[in-house]
Amino acid sequence: MAGPVERVSSSPDERPDVAELVAEYDEERPSRRLGGRWELGVWIAALVVALLVLKQVFDPFSKGNQYYLVVFLGLTLPLVFLSYRPWRSAPDDPGPLDWVLALVALLVGLYPVLGGYDAFLDRQGQLSTLDVVAGAVLLLLVLEACRRTTGLVLPAVCLAFLAYAYYGGFLPQSWDVAHAGIDFSQIVNALYNDASGFFGTPLDVAATYIVLFTIYGAVLDSSGAGKFFVDISFAAFRRSRTAPGRTAALSGFLLGTVSGSGTATTVSLGAVTWPMLRKAGYPRENAGGLLAASGIGAILSPPTLGAAAFIIAEYLQTSYLDVLLWAMVPTLLYYLGIVLAVEADARRFGAKPVEVDSPSAWKLLLRGGYHFLSLGVIVLFLALGIPPFAAVVYASGVAALFALITRWRSREDGWLLAWVRSVADSLATGVRGALPVIAVCAAAGIITSTITKTGLGQVLASALVDAARSVSSNPTVVLALTVVFAAVAVGVLGLAVPVTASFIISWVVIGPALADLGVAAPERAMFIFYYAVLSEVTPPTALAAVAAAAITGGAVMKTMWQTWKYTLPAFLVPLAFVLTDNGSALLLQGSWLDALWVTAVSALGVAALAVVTGGWLISRAGLPERLLCVPAALLLLYLQPITIAVGTGFLAVAVVVHLVLRKGRTQDA
């Protein structure tokens, strides 16, 4: 029976400093807090870049897309040096070194277009000395920009790949990884005057998709959508013991539309929902795990997804709508796992109902339901065949229009000027928010170019498959082992580098291994995408969990393992994508009938996992039931008729055992 109802405000007075926590725990380093003329100067420059990006959507440069990418990198790279500190203790205002680096970045970034773009392209493969010097300087600046925004690991990885490209010819030629070696001028040529280097697919995605979606998120947030999403989540579940957990999950999902970072979403979510979870009686570690899982789930979910999803669309030459469709069922299964865990936790902890001081959900919908319309615009326009970069601009316009109507209805003095300023701020904020991703994508071009030029990707892919074949020659076992090795490799890589870079590197190294074993492109892309994102909740780093622990005050390692408990279905469901042909139906590949039965079976598997991790079935589940549910879940997620039948049998036995033991436990009590 539920305990007494606790009351909590939906806007608690005592909240952690969101900006400080994001700065400390996000994988992207904190930007400077500029003031005065420095802030104005960077704001104007970022606004100019935003207008350039919008111009490219509707009036592309006649010299082609690579010309635009050169200009885009040349204008955004200097902003990194002005917006990010060279080290954490450096002052907020840019120093002489920052200005020198920004000026040099502007010159070498725009060098290909300042000296005659066509002539520069004509020198491909035979760069002049000045070309090589400019390209080498740009290489160093890209690495420094990446270091400032994400830390040392990714630049170190890039340097390792560059060393391999240059010194590979000195390796024993009997080694599979040996190659002829690449001259330094040719390395610079591949990076500076080739579509596979700095100006390759990763930067293309950053300059055409990601920056526009960050602008959209900023416009949506400035219109009050972020606050509305939290308020509607509070109001949706009002007085039940499972309401606090459900509210956290729904808030995380909705907040993901205005944040591209799982850690940032976790922090924003925790700032407003932790007081409610605490009142309900959630232990600190369990609350932190729920917050981290909900925050990460936001960037796995349509309609925005994470930055790597746009790269998937480009690599596979498919529409972004297809990627959204592929993510639908896995998203449902992910949140099903969280909801089932919430239901179990609320009963095991004896959670108390919490009364939230907020208007009813219907009143909130009538007052601010228009915030959902811009999300619908994106999906509708994608369905109509409009490119995603145009669809998101229209969606941003819809959000800005509703913000204008809201300000007009307020009748405040200077409402029109305030609206214009808020739109301009959103444009500038969107560009500045994309700077870390731009630096990462430019640096990722170093890695992909090296792998392409040396053939390293296929060598490493073959080594992965050979490792599996050394254990067994059975094709099914080889595929299963390769998939497990790949999952571990992506997860480990993701511990060291940001999600976007992790996906790009894994795609060119691990993707070919899965392709060699017959895994289709959508399945292997989504498999790698999910494990790259889930690295943010993987011990021992698990940045989202660390940030959640900082909010709740829980033990860090215990919070990490609680996060893993909530996200366990997300770790296992991607295996189902690639292990059997039926797994493709989870990505809506094939008939709707196949998708329905595969989804139903997978949901049953997720439910079995929830029993294992949550310790609850009809009542508290003991060790026998939980042990029986382990093979039940694994066999159900294999998605073959025989394994499904056996897995269902294990689950049925677990239920029978639970009913028998439950009766005995009740009598003993």
Which pLDDT score, from 0 to 100, does residue 73 have? 96
Residue 427 has pLDDT above 90, yes or no: yes
Q: How many CB atoms lie within 10 A of CB 248?
A: 28
pLDDT over 70 for what percent of the chain?
A: 92
Q: What angle do CA 252, 256, 257 make, to 5 degrees?
A: 135
Residue 669's pLDDT band (cuts 50, 70, 90):
very low
Residue 523 has pLDDT above 90, yes or no: yes
Residue 261's pLDDT band (cuts 50, 70, 90):
low
For 563-602, the pLDDT digits (tens) are 888 888 878 889 998 998 898 999 998 889 999 999 999 9
Residue 495 has pLDDT above 80, yes or no: no
**Which residues is 616 bridged to in the sheet?**
620
**Which residues is 9 bridged to in the sheet?**
357
Higher pLDDT, 17 or 212: 212
**5-34 mean pLDDT:** 55
Which pLDDT score, from 0 to 100, does residue 306 have? 72
Nearby residues of 32 by Cβ (< 8 Å), 6 or more positions away: 82, 83, 84, 85, 92, 93, 94
**210-221 mean pLDDT:** 86
For 155-172, the pLDDT digits (tens) are 998 999 999 999 988 888
The dihedral through the CA atoms of 495, 496, 499, 504 has a sign that is negative
For 72-95, the pLDDT digits (tens) are 999 999 999 999 988 877 888 898
Residue 10 has pLDDT above 80, yes or no: no
pLDDT over 90 for what percent of the chain?
A: 32
Q: Which two tokens stand for residue 72?
A: 């885009």
**238-253 mean pLDDT:** 78
- Alpha helices per DSSP H over 175-223: 184-192, 201-205, 211-222
Which pLDDT score, from 0 to 100, does residue 225 have? 80
Residue 259's pLDDT band (cuts 50, 70, 90):
low
Which pLDDT score, from 0 to 100, does residue 11 have? 46
| Three-class secondary structure of residue 62 per DSSP | coil
Residue 13's pLDDT band (cuts 50, 70, 90):
very low
Residue 645 has pLDDT above 90, yes or no: yes
**Which residues is 8 bridged to in the sheet?**
356
For 54-67, the pLDDT digits (tens) are 999 999 999 989 99
d(C-alpha 240, C-alpha 582), whole Å = 38
d(C-alpha 61, C-alpha 135), whole Å = 23
- The alpha carbon of residue 463 and the mean position of all alpha carbons in its chain are separated, in whole angstroms, by 28
Q: What angle do CA 427, 428, 430 make, to 5 degrees?
A: 65
| Three-class secondary structure of residue 77 per DSSP | helix
Residue 18's pLDDT band (cuts 50, 70, 90):
low
For 379-392, the pLDDT digits (tens) are 888 888 888 888 88
**Which range, of 70-84, 287-301, 605-619, averages the lowest pLDDT?**
287-301
**326-349 mean pLDDT:** 87
Residue 139 has pLDDT above 90, yes or no: yes
The dihedral through the CA atoms of 655, 659, 664, 666 has a sign that is positive
Residue 667 has pLDDT above 60, yes or no: no
Residue 475 CB burial class (10 angstroms; 0-12, 13-18, ≥19): exposed
Residue 444 has pLDDT above 50, yes or no: yes
Average pLDDT, the chain: 85
For 97-110, the pLDDT digits (tens) are 999 999 999 999 99
Contact 150, 440 (CB under 8 A): yes
Nearby residues of 13 by Cβ (< 8 Å), 6 or more positions away: none
CA dihedral 464, 465, 468, 474 (to 10 degrees): 170
Which pLDDT score, from 0 to 100, does residue 246 have? 83
Residue 1's pLDDT band (cuts 50, 70, 90):
very low
Contact 47, 424 (CB under 8 A): yes
